[in-house]
Amino acid sequence: MSFFFTRKRKKTEYKTSAVPAKIHVQEKSEGNTSKTTGFFARLDWERMRIQFVVFLFCLIWCGLWARAWYLQIVEGPHLSMRAQRQHMATELVTGRRGMILDRNGQVLASSIEARSVYARPHDIRDPLQVANTLGPILGMEPQKLYNQLSTTKRRFIWLKRKIDDFSASRIQESGLAGIGLTKEYDRVYPFKHMAGQVLGFVGLDDKGLEGIESSMDERLGCPPTRQVVQRDATGRRFYMHREGQSEPQGEDLTLTLDVQLQFIAEEAIARTVRQYDARWGGAIVVDVESGDILAWAQYPFFNPNSYKDYTSLIYRNRLAADALEPGSTFKPFVMAAALQEKKVGANTLIDCERGRWSNKNFTIRDTSRQGVLPASKVLRYSSNIGMAKIGLSLGVPRFHKYLQDLGFGSRTVVPVSESRGILRAPKDWSTIDIMATSFGQSISVTGLQMTQAYLTLLNGGIYKPLRLVREAPPVDEPHTRVFSEKTTRIVMDMMRDVVEEKDGTGRRARVDGVEVAGKTGTAQKADRKSRTYGSKRLASFVGFLPARNPRFLILVMVDEPTNNQFGGVVAAPVFSEIAGKTMAYAGATRLGSEPAPMQKIPAQAEAANKHHGRGLKLAGLSADYLDEIVLSLGKKATVKMDLAGQLSKAGSRVPDVMGKSVRNAVEMFARAGIVPEVKGNGSRVVRQSPPAGSTWPDEGAGKTDYILWLSER
């Protein structure tokens, strides 16, 4: 082995030794190539490789920075907009509308969460499938829905607004591309028709269209705001609330109305309108000391929950918007003006012409044939002739000024849509106009204006504005004195005789145990076709009690009654019923004692919201004389008054609303006269208090919270 290795090594060495000679010869023949080969031989290839890699990375890095600069600076705005369209969206969100409460915190109007269905036609892949799926859910004809989706060029269309929660859940589960749900709010009126014409209603876009909802829309409504929503990979949206950001909400509004007194007035006026087959009827109850309107009733009723089912003739607030000739209820103001100007005195004798008097081709008739009467009895017998002679003694300028100071011919400060009435300029008055106006013709006023004028009379002759909103700012207009206290006292005594004396026209307005004062009215209504007075009448009565120290002012109007048309027969009994129950509700004491002041409830809406009682009961009544008051009012066994507008009779136990939609749950509690507090932003009830199946807590047991907790499902 060693020998073989040695021989082989030598041979190799031999061959190797021969090579240099050959190479040497070539180097001599190619001198330039030798120099180049020497240059490359001297290079540090390892270092060059490192430098090349560094250079390559620097080049790539610069390219990336250049690309980034191009995308961010040049293409940045365009790409940002595309990204927002893909992953973010903005929606115009309308916040929750403020609640409307009565003076005791009972909710008259509230907003609950609802869902509305919309479509983006450009994102719909199969309009036929969408139409066949949505049609049965929304109660729409699939063919009509298909035509709407396939032919429209709009990028956004509403399919149905404010659907029920069950339908919304089915649509959400279907997962149809291009179909979405958005959150809106539906207006709910728990007491249904109660104070319907006063409250008004809200349209689909959550804007007030009538009544308080319209006149106070700026305060109740919530300005729409742009809200950013993020979409996931499948296009589903979810809301991103910023820290400390709360959902926009309108301001709550507390009215001076009292739910229980409102029910009393509505019940009385509805019964009379039906009894006499009248066109409509209305009543207003006012607290004289504060000027607060405690009740504002009108029949036929109007339920704002289904406002589309009614015409404007029904939801029109006639007590404020209809200007009518008042008739004899206007006479006390004319008498007060004459007394103030010393044209007549309480004992001034006036010839009533035995019931018929002609003057300048104008004949005036009375219902009774009276001769010479002292001025104090002219109101008691409601003599048109006597009042016409008193009006003539005033003269046009003074007469007109008193009417202006009382508020006739101008709107009140009550935030409702109202008419100015008709009070012509003095230059347009003739002698006949003076005489006719003196007994309530040739002038048109609203029921609200009449109430305002009587409040001035009962306030010692000083103008006091009516109030319907508890938090209303002070009125800037001066409280001018129209009549002296002496004048108002004389007129009030005359009005007391109208009711309390045996021969007065308002005897049916009496209330047991309390002195009442008032004035009846039976106004002729003009016939547009014949352009003269026809056979139709407006029966009315305006009164106050107690007569010596007025606490409540009540106006009653019944338009076009049949069977009987006299205010003393038709309207006076309505006053008696409302006045008696109002005094009982307010806690009036026995005969001869001063009435206790009404319970004052804080007007703050926040405090009112925390107080929810089951139904309403009479407050401030002593057990010693409770039965006596009940009997005097004609009641039989109970003093609890059922609330108007309940959905149906409530059970004796708290209902089980777990898993139900918020709308259904609120309706079930509303049957017991309760509007529960709702917590959470979901659509289904996951917890309730008090628990289902428990008995309703007794009002006397203390404050009880009725709460529903919601969660998304």
Q: Furthest-apart CA pair in the chain: how many Å?
A: 176
**Mean pLDDT across the chain, nearest whole number?**
79
Name residue 582's amino acid.
T
- 529 burial type by CB count under 10 A (0-12 exposed, 13-18 middle, 19+ buried): exposed
Q: Which of 640, 706, 637 is nearest to 678 (CA)?
A: 706
Tell me the two tokens of residue 185.
Answer: 């709010």
Cα–Cα dist 158/179, whole Å: 10
Strands 532-545 and 552-559: antiparallel
Name the percent of the chain lying above pLDDT 90.
Answer: 35
Residues ≥6 apart with Cβ < 8 Å to 272: 278, 281, 558, 570, 571, 573, 574
Cα–Cα dist 285/553, whole Å: 6
Residue 237 banded pLDDT, cuts 50, 70, 90? low
Q: Say if residue 634's pLDDT is above 50.
A: no
Q: What DSSP state is assigned to residue 24? A: H
What is the pLDDT at residue 142?
83
Residue 705 sits at φ, ψ, to 5 deg, of -100, 130
* Beta strands, E only, 43-153: 88-93, 100-101, 107-119
Tell me the two tokens of residue 27.
Answer: 């180097």
Angle (deg, nearest 10), helices 384-394 and 431-438: 130
The string of DSSP codes covering 452-511 is: HHHHHHHTTTB----BSBTTPPPP-S---B-S-HHHHHHHHHHHHHHHHSTT-TTGGG-B
C-beta separation of 208 from 187 below 8 A: no
Question: Taking the complete model, does pTM exceed 0.85, yes or no?
Answer: no
Q: What is the pLDDT of residues 192-213, one digit of tens each?
A: 999 999 999 998 778 889 999 9
Tell me the two tokens of residue 183.
Answer: 């959150």
For residues 534-550, average pLDDT? 91
CA 588-589-595 angle, to 5 degrees, is: 55
C-beta separation of 306 from 201 below 8 A: no
Residue 158 banded pLDDT, cuts 50, 70, 90? confident
* Other Cβ atoms closer than 10 A to 324: 23
Per residue, the 3-state secondary structure of 196-207, as one string, reads HHHHCCECCCCC
Q: What DSSP state is assigned to residue 635? A: -
What is the pLDDT at residue 140?
84
Cα–Cα dist 504/493, whole Å: 13
Q: What is the pLDDT of residues 410-457, one digit of tens each?
A: 999 999 999 999 999 989 898 888 999 999 888 999 999 999 999 999
Tell me the two tokens of residue 286.
Answer: 């006012």
Cα–Cα dist 100/26, whole Å: 113
Helix (H) or strand (E) holding 526: strand 517-527
Domains, the chain, ordered by start: 2-73 (no CATH), 90-254 (3.90.1310.10), 646-713 (3.30.10.20)
3-state secondary structure of 76: helix
What separation in angstroms does the CA of 494 have from each of 374, 377, 452, 569? 11, 7, 20, 20
C-beta separation of 188 from 107 below 8 A: no
- Higher per-residue confidence, 203 vs 300: 300
What is the pLDDT at residue 475?
58
Tell me the two tokens of residue 72.
Answer: 């961010």
Angle (deg, nearest 10), helices 572-586 and 259-275: 160
What is the pLDDT at residue 16?
42
For residues 242-267, average pLDDT? 82
* Other Cβ atoms closer than 10 A to 427: 7
Question: Hunting for tokens 């002739």 — which residue is that?
Answer: 385
For residues 278-290, average pLDDT? 94
Residue 528 banded pLDDT, cuts 50, 70, 90? confident
Q: Which of 564, 323, 567, 543 is nearest to 448 (CA)?
A: 323
C-beta separation of 93 from 155 below 8 A: no
In sign, the C-alpha dihedral spanning 683, 687, 689, 695 is positive
For residues 73-97, average pLDDT? 73
C-beta separation of 399 from 357 below 8 A: no
Residue 340 banded pLDDT, cuts 50, 70, 90? very high
